[in-house]
Amino acid sequence: MRYAIAVAGALVMLFPFAWAVLTSITPGDAVLATPPDLTPDGAGLDAYRRLLEATPFWRILLNSLWIGVASTILQLVTSAMAAYAFARLPFPGRGALFAVYLATLMIPLQVLIVPLFIEMRTFNLVDTYFAVLAPTIASAFGVFLLRQAIAQVPREFDEAAVLDGAGHLRIFVSVVLPLIRPALATFAVFGFMASWNSYLWPLVIIRSPEFMTLPLGLAELHGRFTTEWNVVMAGSVVSVVPIAILYAFAQKHVIASVAQTGLK
């Protein structure tokens, strides 16, 4: 019964993606057929060809890839270092500062759009790659997640490393980071997904087509009066592939991180 419920849930979760794939290979005149045809005549990859013709798709995809990778790496570095400081380094006001840092999670991006834009304009960074990356360099959620993971690492490991002459940097790199790999992989998936799907901030800060990211490129496929939904779905299918590949590689670590949250 448990397996039957799991399979049923998996089918429900996979149905939207399967529907997007089906729509992307359906001829344009059959997309809006009523009732929907699950075996359309003339199915093919014409929508993918028109997608490449309608937009500089490879440039847009490359922009999203490198921005997503850079954002993920920066968040991993800054969040892991801050998490180690909050979990291992005693300093005055540590608890209060951590609480204030977590409180920033309650501030939505929409509230910060105007001050962020003014800041980028002041430094003459509007319409640059750095402007897209700047708000994602640090992550309060990442600090919280990794701090909890580091707190579960026994302090005896740190003490043994200190006896061998290791300092905080060596303990952080050689002891702590290898032991929190599942949490790092989990946060990497979340961070990459957030950057990959980001729409509002790139929409505000990007002006030139050469800096356009994938969500902006997909939005450009919607016409004012008509929309070729098979082309839109073709772009959506391609946009899902990198996320699926990343999760496939990180799946083992993500599951391990979720399992460890129940350990005392």
Q: Which of 54, 59, 65 is nearest to 209 (CA)?
A: 59
pLDDT in tens, 214-244: 888 888 877 655 677 788 888 888 888 888 8
What pLDDT is recorded for position 263?
46
Helix (H) or strand (E) holding 224, with range, is none
CB neighbours of 132 closer than 8 A, spacing ≥ 6?
Answer: 67, 201, 202, 205, 206, 211, 213
Has residue 184 got a pLDDT over 60?
yes
Asked if 79 contacts 139 with a C-beta cutoff of 8 angstroms, the reply is yes
pLDDT at site 264? 41
Q: Is the pTM of this model over 0.75?
A: yes
Token digits of residue 175: 């002891």
Q: What is the mean pLDDT of residues 202-207?
A: 90
pLDDT of residue 67: 93
Rounded to an integer, what distance in angstroms lies between the CA atom of residue 208 and that of residue 154?
A: 50
117 or 33, which is more confident: 117
pLDDT in tens, 83-93: 999 998 888 98
- Please tell me which residue, 37 or 56, carries the higher pLDDT value: 56
Confidence at residue 221, expressed as pLDDT on a 0 to 100 scale: 79
pLDDT in tens, 246-261: 888 877 766 766 655 5
pLDDT at 34 > cutoff 80: no
Using one digit for the tens of pLDDT, what is the confidence trace for 58-86?
Answer: 889 899 999 999 999 999 999 999 999 99
pLDDT at 142: 92
Binning pLDDT at 50, 70 and 90, where does residue 56 land?
confident
Q: Are 198 and 32 in contact (CB under 8 A)?
A: no
Structure confidence by residue, pLDDT tens digits, 2-30? 999 999 999 998 888 888 888 888 876 66
> pLDDT per residue over 127-175, tens digit each?
889 999 988 888 899 999 999 899 888 888 888 888 888 888 899 998 8
Q: Is the pLDDT of residue 42 over 80?
A: no
Q: Quick check: helix, strand or coil at residue 204? A: helix
| pLDDT averaged over every residue in the chain | 85
Query: Is pLDDT of 103 > 50?
Result: yes
Q: How far apart are CA 246 and CA 248, in angstroms?
A: 5
Q: Could you identify the residue written with the tokens 């993971």? A: 149
Cβ atoms of residues 35 and 151 within 8 Å: no
